[in-house]
Amino acid sequence: MEFRQLRYFLAVAKHRHFTRAAEQLGMAQPPLSQQIQKLEREIGTPLFRRLTRGVELTEAGEILREDAQRLLESAELAMTRVQSAARGQIGRIALGFAGSVVFHPLVARLVRDFRQRYPGVIISSNEGNSVELSQRLRDGALDAAFIRLPADCTGLKAEGLVEEGMLAVLPTSHRLAEAGAVALRDLAEDHFVMFPREIGPDLYDSIVSACLAAGFTPHLAQESPQISSTINMAAAGFGIALVPGSLGHVLAEGVTYHPVPDEALTTTIALVYRAGERSRVVLNLAAQVHGLHRSGESGART
């Protein structure tokens, strides 16, 4: 039994007439009759009673009509779902977010727009640091992640979204708390609150290198669990901190934020995924990031 034969059968059952059914199907009447006869032989029972002016369904034909309709509807639904999956319109994606990137409004906007464009895609979110998320991608536990560059992206492809400058986070009692932009060299005598190097070694090293280029070795006073938590530790008086620009959206009492005009001191939010990725859902998300970046909406630096 073939789906084609079932479609022929349903057309005859609908019109109760071979000639009219053949006209609907766009075929000659004799081949249609032959296909119905073949179907009856395969099933082993007549499906129609031949009348003078048409046909009527037998009891077996009535049962087959109900089941055939359901079968064809299920087949059409399966075809639609397969085609939607091939286009990345339905499916799942395990998406990681480095702790500090969630503060950038462009990331939230991009994910919101993606969900609106592909409502059939289920997103499971996972938070971690850039090193951890990159490894989980390589291990297959995640499909894609928003992380901060510089970072080790061996085996991964990175699609840059937005470049950020860094902010100096100063306690309100600091001598430069009322200043605007702050040069890195003006912080040479301060104690720095830093995140652990293991959660972002490349970014950590770029901060230290920028300090060295400015003529000093940073005094590391205290370590915080995450990049974002350096803000609260600066507010508590442990020292000053350097954080990506989007963390300036964090409202914290006891600190002031200051741009640091140092071209070497930047970080980029990027979507990373496995090189050679074939998932259309992941590739659709990457294309959205790429399109936003190319359009200039992401901005060169924030």
The alpha carbon of 184 is separated from its chain's Cα centroid by a whole number of angstroms, namely 36
Indicate whether 234 pLDDT > 70.
yes
Higher pLDDT, 132 or 251: 132
Higher pLDDT, 298 or 160: 160
pLDDT of residue 296: 59
Indicate whether 228 pLDDT > 60.
yes
Indicate whether 8 pLDDT > 80.
yes
What mean pLDDT is predicted for residues 163-176? 94
pLDDT of residue 302: 45
How far, in Å, CA of 134 to CA of 146, rounded?
Answer: 9
| 8 Å CB contact between 236 and 221 | no
pLDDT of residue 90: 83
Instruction: Report the percent of the chain where pLDDT is more than 90.
Output: 63
To which H or E segment does residue 243 belong? strand 241-244
* pLDDT tens for each residue of 35-60: 999 999 999 999 999 888 889 999 99
Q: How confident is the model at residue 123 (pLDDT cuts 50, 70, 90)?
A: very high
How far, in Å, CA of 166 to CA of 163, rounded?
Answer: 10
Q: Which of 219, 230, 159 is nearest to 194 (CA)?
A: 230
Of the given ranges (65-79, 131-145, 159-173), which has the lowest mean pLDDT?
65-79
* pLDDT tens for each residue of 59-113: 999 999 999 888 888 888 778 777 767 777 788 999 999 988 888 989 999 999 9
pLDDT of residue 168: 95
In which region does residue 16 sit, left (phi positive, over 0), alpha (psi from -120 to 50) or beta (all else)?
A: left
Indicate whether 298 pLDDT > 70.
no
Give CB contacts under 8 A, 24+ apart, made by 30-33: 32/8
Q: How many CB atoms lie within 10 A of CB 259?
A: 14
pTM more than 0.95: no
* pLDDT tens for each residue of 256-293: 999 998 777 888 999 999 998 999 999 999 999 998 87
Domains of the chain by residue range: 3-86, 93-302
Average pLDDT, the chain: 89
pLDDT of residue 288: 93
pLDDT of residue 99: 80
pLDDT of residue 274: 95
Q: How confident is the model at residue 297 (pLDDT cuts 50, 70, 90)?
A: low
Indicate whether 241 pLDDT > 90.
yes
Instruction: Report the percent of the chain where pLDDT is more than 70.
Output: 96
pLDDT of residue 199: 86
Q: According to CATH, what is the number of the domain 93-302?
A: 3.40.190.290
The number of C-alpha atoms within 13 Å of 118 and in the hemisphere containing its C-beta is 23
Indicate whether 3 pLDDT > 60.
yes
pLDDT of residue 301: 46
- When the candidates are 3.40.50.10540, 1.10.357.10, 1.20.200.10, 1.10.10.10, the CATH number that belongs to 3-86 is 1.10.10.10
